[in-house]
Chains A and B, each alone.
Chain A
């Protein structure tokens, strides 16, 4: 048989065997049989010596052409088979992606902390600095410097816990104001979050321990309009851009003029509902312009400086934020309650 005939036979064999391959190892065997060192094409190459000098380059070219073609055919075939095999494997690896599995548990900060963080972000964004003060406080800072002398009836309203005649559990975060004013010079722009204490029995809306966030600004030419704008920014940030602030006249010994700040009811957005008793407004915090007498007692010149102060009840705004109906849930620590909380991304 001539080499040419042999080449023709190889072409047919290749064609045939490639069509009947069952798996990748059969393909590899075919590759060895055809193209390997001891393969048929190599064997033909070895027979080249028998050929004439004329024929040699022609046949050589034919053999090389086949080597390239067979390689290409085998590669293509291999690629196709590999792909098929992978598809088959992927088919077998199919998972029920809806099957339930336990999740890694991520915890959460307390709802009070979550809301406090939002409030603090809001006020630090407006240039307020966070300042803290003691919870076991001198009567001097908790009352006297705030225009609430001994035996003032306003003390009754605050149901104070006493340690002794001169030391109390602070009834509000306002003593941090007094401490700051006596130690710093204006301009002052602070918020003071923290625990406060009142001798109230526990029920759905009262607790002997709760949190306030005090705010204080002292500078030249500070007005009640500045106070309103500051609180409006806070309300919008916490509850949404449609929330309005309304001031009502009120009285606190350490501010004059004083106001109760109402917000658009966060539940009905002002239409009137059970939560706002149909008024469309909810009472949220007390505020006012720092009483000149307080400024004077704290060593700040009331003729040069004015300022405002406000006190936010953290539990109140937290309950409004999450629709919590009973304050006791916040101090029990039942995980069925706590597991519902997570941190929100809030735009500034």
Chain B
């Protein structure tokens, strides 16, 4: 909210610099976004009188003038404006003057020296709000008499600052000059001088003879008040009013409309002015809209209403949306003769929903949405009438229509001084609290520990002791709050989930992986590009009702899409190799919680590409994670639409698939614009840790020697090695300490479609040196098993 500092100073003196004022207001709870010095836009421009004005010898449109600026010799200035004439009072930009367009220098125009410039309104950046006739062609000619040499900023009201206040949601009462003035006086310790509202009524007429108001839905309109102005004299507003509106960023229209806007700015009460003669039956009816009812708004558009919106109607039907926008029919015009001023309090939710659903946000609706106190409605209405008196814009008819069936009164709050101090940590006496509250217009008293305070009628946010604590504290100073370390011991700890993730991250860092993060949203198209089969739970993603765009319409059910996109970005940015991962939540929309929310759990997605990466390097990284968490697992070939059919593996433990990994299918890689071979794995963290075993006891070092035996077995090319090793391990029993594969040989020597796999077996007994018979027995058993199960033969 932007306000003129000069206007504010009329109600509360500000004896400090703008910067100090800003600081003090911020520290007492009124936010300030910034302060603009209006005077900076115009410097060294003064009132001057054109003494002589003759046509330029070498030009058909320039004039050479002598101008008296009240000091020194008259200046010779060449002027191109058609309206320049001797005897005029004009705005003279002296040499060195600062205008919005630049600085004025001594010039020479077609051979004649010019010591300055006569300015038009636009050249000075002065709009009609600041001086009425500036819009006319040519230079600005002052209509009033001013001493020569007067700084024009004094005339235009530009010796001012515009303060941009940031009003907190709970303080709609400060969304106006008076509200800020109250805070200012309290913050500055200065006297608050709000005007006394007095209305001079025309005793010869009574409002009852002019207008009638009925509020049919008082739940949405707790108070509706009106006054009538007759013999309206529409005209321009005086300079002070135009300037005040200008500083607040509003346009000046005419005296009546300006009064309504000014009163809203001053008191926070949105006002509406009706041309009463255009109100059918001179009867205003406030009611809910019926479904399907049609309303034509000021902008000429017709709206079909849903029903329930609060309407302002006359006897012909709806004319405006209460608190949001008035009707075209009863708009104030040059010919308006009788005006009805409306000031009201409307239900903020109703206004909010109406303005939202019809897409109208006006200054008035903004005030009503944040909350206008019904208690102060008459202040706004009467202030408008008072300004009509002051501006002589009409005659105020005697009497007020005031429909206020359930008057609201702020109730006293009884609080404890000690409890307030305990909450804030600051020791204040009851007297000090009363002193502060009184400055904030509360009715307050303290007796012993009991503080009794009633909030002023314009405050609707004060509900209890904690609110009083804040009021007192913000003026006593938040800086007084001490630092008192928490008392009492407590066991701090990370959650199990966090500890699990910590372990994963630590291991991955060690293996050269970098953590990435992507948004939790995905496009459904990205899921489809994985080629998932119909019925796959991952396709049934949770949809957002109001996504930012098509690309972010669903909650991710897998990390694959995000990580592949990150890999693609890295390829596009020229990163030739990458090891990346994301550890984040996925949202399972199929298996829902007891609260009927989707199941959320962490997945881990690893991705690698580059010269030194292959299927086995990625699988190795995954296996490290499994081994470091104590998971017993088997690797089995698997089929996933998004993986290369011959390079896809599942990690299985018990009945659960913990992870799926492999090389990205070329079709999927193409859809994601990935180049080369890219390897990816997705691990289900809860399943991994369900299979994880804590570390147990370790073994001492063996005391008896081991025996090594190598074994080269010829099997079919298609025979996976993993199951062979599992079978050999089982057959070898306790004496087979370790088995590893050290070579695979393919060639004519072993036959087409066959391979020779070489294993190294290490045998050892815990309690004695193995005998030859024992060794032979184990080896024979191993051989028998592989030959029976896999048709393996010893390589000759």
The one of B28, B170, B423, B600 in contact with A224, judged by C-beta atoms closer than 8 angstroms, is B423
CA distance A126 to B474 in the complex (A): 28
The one of B479, B514, B548, B566 in contact with A332, judged by C-beta atoms closer than 8 angstroms, is B566
Interface 9-residue window, one of A51-59, A87-95, A227-235 = A227-235
| Chain A residue, CB-CB nearest to B473 | A257
Q: For chain B residues 717-752, which have a beta carbon within 8 Å of chain A?
A: none
Q: B422 near A127 (CB under 8 angstroms)?
A: no
Q: A127 near B552 (CB under 8 angstroms)?
A: no
CA distance A232 to B425 in the complex (A): 15
Contacts of A125 in B (CB 8 A): 492
A217 to chain B, nearest CB (A): 7
B349: CB under 8 A from chain A? yes
| B: interface residue count bin | 35 or more
Q: A335 near B493 (CB under 8 angstroms)?
A: no
A333 with B169, Cβ < 8 A, contacts A129-B491, A256-B467 known = no
Q: B518 near A249 (CB under 8 angstroms)?
A: no
| Chain A residue, CB-CB nearest to B565 | A333
| A: interface residue count bin | 35 or more
CA distance A327 to B369 in the complex (A): 33
B597: CB under 8 A from chain A? yes
The one of A169, A225, A330 in contact with B425, judged by C-beta atoms closer than 8 angstroms, is A225
CA distance A233 to B486 in the complex (A): 11
Interface 9-residue window, one of A15-23, A27-35, A74-82, A106-114 = A106-114
The one of B370, B463, B469, B515 in contact with A107, judged by C-beta atoms closer than 8 angstroms, is B515
A44: CB under 8 A from chain B? no
Q: A208 near B519 (CB under 8 angstroms)?
A: yes
Contacts of A209 in B (CB 8 A): 519-521
A289 with B509, Cβ < 8 A, contacts A113-B515, A136-B600, A332-B566 known = no
B547: CB under 8 A from chain A? yes
A247 with B491, Cβ < 8 A, contacts A107-B512, A136-B600 known = no
Q: A289 near B597 (CB under 8 angstroms)?
A: no
A3: CB under 8 A from chain B? no
Q: B600 near A134 (CB under 8 angstroms)?
A: yes
Q: B483 near A228 (CB under 8 angstroms)?
A: yes
CA distance A199 to B544 in the complex (A): 11
Q: A251 near B168 (CB under 8 angstroms)?
A: yes
Q: For chain B residues 469-485, which have a beta carbon within 8 Å of chain A?
A: 469-470, 473-474, 478-479, 481-485
A222 to chain B, nearest CB (A): 8
Q: A163 near B509 (CB under 8 angstroms)?
A: no
B27: CB under 8 A from chain A? yes
Interface 9-residue window, one of B256-264, B573-581, B631-639 = B573-581
A73: CB under 8 A from chain B? no
Interface 9-residue window, one of A64-72, A153-161, A267-275 = A153-161
Q: A232 near B483 (CB under 8 angstroms)?
A: yes
A50: CB under 8 A from chain B? no
Q: For chain B residues 409-468, which have a beta carbon within 8 Å of chain A?
A: 422-426, 463-467
Chain A 197-238 interface mask (CB, 8 Å, partner B; 1/0): 101010000011100000001010111111011101100000
Contacts of B483 in A (CB 8 A): 225, 228-229, 232, 245
Q: B171 near A257 (CB under 8 angstroms)?
A: no
B216: CB under 8 A from chain A? no
B358 to chain A, nearest CB (A): 16
The one of B348, B470, B497, B515 in contact with A153, judged by C-beta atoms closer than 8 angstroms, is B348
Q: A251 near B169 (CB under 8 angstroms)?
A: yes
Q: A106 near B544 (CB under 8 angstroms)?
A: no
Chain B 494-529 interface mask (CB, 8 Å, partner A; 1/0): 110110001001001111111111111100000000
CA distance A169 to B515 in the complex (A): 24
Q: B469 near A132 (CB under 8 angstroms)?
A: no
CA distance A247 to B28 in the complex (A): 10
Q: B492 near A249 (CB under 8 angstroms)?
A: no
Q: B509 near A108 (CB under 8 angstroms)?
A: yes
CA distance A120 to B520 in the complex (A): 23
A154 to chain B, nearest CB (A): 6
Q: For chain A residues 271-320, which have a beta carbon within 8 Å of chain B?
A: 289, 291-293, 306
Q: A128 near B492 (CB under 8 angstroms)?
A: yes
CA distance A137 to B498 in the complex (A): 20
9 closest pairs, A vs B, by CB? Answer: A225-B425, A127-B490, A249-B29, A333-B516, A124-B492, A257-B470, A333-B566, A223-B425, A229-B483
A selection of 18 A-B contacts at a CB cut-off of 8 Å is: A107-B509, A128-B490, A132-B497, A134-B593, A163-B544, A223-B424, A225-B424, A225-B481, A226-B485, A228-B483, A232-B483, A248-B26, A250-B29, A257-B466, A258-B470, A292-B464, A331-B519, A338-B516
